[in-house]
Structure 1
Amino acid sequence: MKAKIVYFSHGGGPLPLLGDPSHRAMIRFMKQLGNVLPRPKSIVVVSAHWEEEKPTLIASPTPWLLYDYYGFPKEAYEITYPALGNPDLAKSIATLLGDAVLSETRGFDHGMFIPLSLMYPEASIPTIQLSLLSSLSAADHWNLGEKLRPLLDEDILFIGSGFSFHNIRQFWKGDDEQNNAFQNFLIDTCSTDKPIESRKQALIHWENAPYARYCHPREEHLLPLLVCQSLAQGTAELIFDDKILERRAVAFLWS
């Protein structure tokens, strides 16, 4: 497998680039990750912040930035990340997916440009985004990852950009046994050697995990993980297990 696949927690809006102290561990991790991973020819980001009825890909050669957050200081809306798109790759992926849509008007959302500003600040790697499905079906997102498997021999970095804990009302309250139980479930599912069918069933039925709906009242920040695990199939390396916004969060790498 030439491709690299990573799922990580991308933090709270623009806070990682604004120097928020509750993101120190994440900032350090992201900067190191960009140096450790082999430099890919292209990046494909599946972000928690884009949902469409059909899988949709950014196909513009020069995507703009979508500041999809609210109530932050002026500098949060002056962030630049002039990465080029990759229309040819977008078209190839659309062909693989069969029912995909190409968009030349959608911009990069903060699930893309916040972590990539830390990982690859020079913005010199062509990047596209692939949407989630508005069905929010775990099975549909697992199938999405399987359809991408012919690309594993390509020099592509696939990024699932979400948050392994995403209960907005419970951030900043300190960690608890509920979140620890769910993070341990994710680690066991993705980073323990087991048959792929076991991983598939565990993630498709993630709501049965301990405190699942406490950690994810809405699943959009978890679904990029399903796409990544389905694409990779094999056992992940746990590469981050620390606090973001006072909550334990994890990241995985498949290579």
Structure 2
Amino acid sequence: MAAASAARAPCIYLTHGGGPFPVIGGPGHAGLTKFLKAWPTSLPEPPKALLVVSGHWETAVPTVTSAPRPELIYDYHGFPPESYEINYPAPGDPQLADKVCSLLKAAGMECQKDAKRGFDHGTFIPLVLAFPKADIPVVQLSLAASLDPQLHIKMGEALAPLRDEGVAIIGSGSSFHNMPALFAAMGGMSEAGRAALQRSKTFDEWLQYVCTDPQLPYEKRAELLAGWRKAPEGQYSHPREEHLLPLHVCLGAGRGGAAKVVFDDLAMGVKCSSFQW
């Protein structure tokens, strides 16, 4: 892994869109695609490595990719042929994988390495747009299959020191992930589509409050996010929480401070946000 960087690398939770649509120009993704392409230009310097927590990989215990040259996993179905020809030959970083495991174990958590696992689309789709040269080493970290929100916040807290070594931590999911509602919203302004949009706005407003209000102490911020099911339209927005939990990791890795909203727009016909620490 590279030597320490002068500037702390960012930690960002981002909406990665529907399958390969951000890359191939799918409906309802123009704003998201524009954001993903422009985001790196806002950074004071490029990250030295990327640690991506994807909502598309769950294992019994947190697991990191440790292959020097991970392949791609096209874990989407029914898209145009060009969707399966997308290439992202970024190198892995076995040394960073070792460091991730060491930090998690030092904090009392289990961790495993997987030398065969490749990058799923929760990793390679946003990175194709954000870092198209594919010259920054990438390691992917799984969610724990327990989907315990407090565990994922603890994971982020343990991994926070990586940011001082120039490793950007990216939580890749979606701030709204109710698939029937997304299909309704992308299909136009039907009654169901309008309802999905309004309900997504309600939950997004709550998320922005929890993540960005400077008056909230970290303990309260973590308590609220861990209890997200009680939030207005929380369970509607996430019938299953795998696309939200990367945000919990990012909250912990943010070291307690308030985030800033870096994407605040419609994606797939509903309201979505991305947060950066």
Shorter-normalised TM-score: what interval? Answer: over 0.9
Q: Distance in 2 between matches of 1:146 and 1:86?
A: 21
CA contact (8 A) 1:47 1:131 kept: yes
SS at match of 1:148: helix
Q: Which moved more, 1:149-158 or 1:83-92?
A: 149-158
**Offset, 1:92:** 0.9
For 1:22-77, what per-residue CA distance to the aligned partner results, in whole angstroms no more than 9, with x for missing partners?
Answer: 10000110111022222011000000000001110000000000000011111111
Equivalent position of 2:3 in the other structure:
none
Letter in 1 for 2:124: F
Q: Does 1:73 align with 2:80?
A: yes
Which of residues 173, 177, 180 is equivalent to 2:198? 177
Deviation at 1:20, TM superposition (A): 1.4
Q: 2:71 aligns with which of 64, 78, 102?
A: 64
1:144 Cα offset (Å): 0.9
Paired residues for 1:160-175 under 5 Å: 160-171=171-182, 172=186, 173-174=193-194, 175=196
User: For residue 210 of structure 1, what is the aligned residue in structure 2?
Assistant: 232
Counterparts of 1:116 and 1:57, CA distance in 2: 17
Secondary structure of the structure 2 residue equivalent to 1:12: coil
- Residues 10-29 of structure 1 deviation map (CA, whole Å, 9 limit, x = unaligned): 00000111111310000110
Q: Percent identity?
A: 44
Normalised to the residue count of structure 2, the TM-score between the two structures is: 0.90
CA contact (8 A) 2:175 2:244 kept: yes
Shift, 1:159, TM fit: 0.3
SS of equivalent residue, structure 1 residue 190: helix
2:170 aligns to what? 159
Give the distance between the partners of 1:142 and 1:32, measured in 2 at CA. Answer: 28
Match of residue 50 from structure 1 = 57
For residue 101 of structure 2, give the secondary structure of its aligned residue in structure 1. helix
The answer as to whether partners of 1:242 and 1:250 remain within 8 angstroms in 2 is: yes
Do the aligned partners of 1:35 and 1:119 also contact (CA within 8 Å) in 2? no
**SS class of match (2:12):** strand
Give yes or no for the alignment of 1:195 onto 2:223. Answer: no
Q: Map Cα deviations across residues 123-154 of structure 1 (whole Å, 9 max, x no partner).
A: 00000000001001111111111111232311
Match in the other structure for 2:111: 100
Aligned partner of 2:11 among 5, 23, 30: 5
1:3 Cα deviation after fit: 2.2
Matches of 1:150 and 1:166 in 2, distance apart? 30
SS at match of 1:228: helix
Instruction: Extract unaligned runs of 5+ from structure 1.
Output: none
Taking structure 1 as the reference length, the TM-score comes to 0.97
User: Does the CA contact (< 8 Å) of 1:46 and 1:160 recur in 2?
Assistant: yes
Residue 260 (structure 2) pairs with residue 237 (structure 1): yes
d(CA) in 2 for partners of 1:101, 1:45? 16
Contact 1:43 1:159 in 2 (8 A): yes
Gaps of 5+ in 2: 1-6, 187-192
